[in-house]
């Protein structure tokens, strides 16, 4: 019997290669040295639990054709769309499958069905995920409007998603739930917004019917230059 588990996450299929017996796994689980984070996916004690780690495990455990998407894909691109007030635990991993396939119902995973094309899928950190562009479009539909514009601005800033590219994709989203909100948000996306609060402020200015603001407009106050949101009109 192995006295200690490996120092990295593993799935049941790894056990023969790692020399782990079912008895080892049961003993480690009883003593708290290992815990399951998914059915068939395990995290040794002392190894950091994270969205990236769980996304990687989910990608290995789920059948071929499942793609990491939504808020999880955004996280892999450096964009945090999670409201941690939802709970202190690691949030479920968002994955999607093509139309005609069954979405995952595995505990710890939220499954969706999406009409993905080949150009909607890429690999990030070794995980198959929706591209930054597709992720921005999906989040523009599914998130609440403030969170959606913040996420889309961030993906534009960090991953080069452009208004032109999103506009070209819009016809594909016809009749998609949330597309009306998406149509409003796409022209408003601006990579110059450097925080969620800036994005929210820009959105409120738009919704109030005021002139479109210019993010990062430099102004001078008492001889000190600083950036601000400027409106003209």
d(CA 2, CA 21): 8
**What average pLDDT score do residues 205-212 get?**
90
**What average pLDDT score do residues 68-92 get?**
86
Mean pLDDT of the chain: 90
d(CA 163, CA 190): 8
d(CA 114, CA 56): 20
With a pLDDT cut of 90, the percent of the chain lying above it is 78
**What average pLDDT score do residues 179-188 get?**
97
Strand partners, 111: 95
pTM for this entry: 0.87
Q: Where do the DSSP E strands lie in the chain?
A: 10-11, 34-38, 41-44, 67-68, 93-98, 109-114, 121-124, 127-130, 213-221, 224-231
For residue 88, pLDDT over 70 is answered with no
SS (H, E, C) 102-116: CCCCCCCEEEEEECC
Give residue 2's pLDDT.
Answer: 64
Taking the alpha carbons of 125, 172, 175, 99 in that order, is the dihedral positive or negative?
Answer: negative
> CA 163: distance to chain centroid?
19
Q: Are strands 93-98 and 109-114 parallel, antiparallel or unpaired?
A: parallel
Give residue 66's pLDDT.
Answer: 94
**pLDDT range class, residue 87, cuts 50, 70, 90:** low
Residues sharing a CB contact under 8 Å with residue 209, sequence separation 6 or more, in sequence order: none
**What average pLDDT score do residues 38-51 get?**
94
**What average pLDDT score do residues 126-132 get?**
96
For residue 233, pLDDT over 50 is answered with no
Give residue 214's pLDDT.
Answer: 78
Backbone region of residue 209 per phi and psi (left: phi > 0; alpha: psi in -120 to 50; beta: other values): left
**What average pLDDT score do residues 96-100 get?**
88
> CA 6: distance to chain centroid?
28
**What average pLDDT score do residues 201-226 get?**
78
Q: Which residue has better confidence, 202 or 1?
A: 202
Give residue 212's pLDDT.
Answer: 79
**What average pLDDT score do residues 17-39 get?**
94
For the chain, give every domain's residue range: 10-44, 51-193
**What average pLDDT score do residues 68-88 get?**
85
d(CA 201, CA 197): 6
Give residue 84's pLDDT.
Answer: 59
């Amino acid at each position: 019997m192995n006295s200690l588990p490996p120092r990295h996450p593993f799935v049941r299929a790894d056990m023969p290669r790692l020399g782990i017996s079912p008895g080892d796994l049961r003993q480690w689980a009883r003593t708290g040295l290992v815990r399951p984070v998914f059915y068939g996916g395990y995290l040794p004690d002392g190894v950091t639990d994270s969205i990236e780690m769980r996304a990687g495990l989910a990608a290995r455990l789920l059948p071929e054709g499942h793609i990491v998407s939504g808020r999880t894909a955004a996280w892999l691109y450096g964009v945090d769309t999670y409201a941690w007030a939802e709970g202190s635990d690691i949030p479920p991993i968002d994955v999607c499958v093509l139309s005609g396939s069954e979405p995952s119902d595995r505990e710890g995973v939220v499954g969706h069905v999406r009409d993905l094309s080949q150009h909607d899928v890429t690999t990030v950190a070794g995980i198959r995920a929706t591209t930054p562009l597709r992720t921005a479009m999906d989040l523009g539909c599914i998130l609440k409007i403030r969170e959606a514009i913040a996420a889309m601005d961030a993906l534009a800033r960090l991953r080069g998603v452009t208004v032109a590219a999103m506009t070209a994709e819009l016809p594909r989203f016809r009749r998609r739930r949330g597309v009306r909100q998406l149509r409003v948000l796409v022209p408003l996306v601006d990579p110059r917004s450097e925080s969620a609060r800036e994005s929210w402020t820009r959105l409120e200015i738009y919704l109030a019917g005021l002139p479109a603001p210019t993010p990062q407009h430099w102004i001078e106050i008492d001889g000190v230059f600083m950036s601000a949101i400027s409106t003209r009109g």
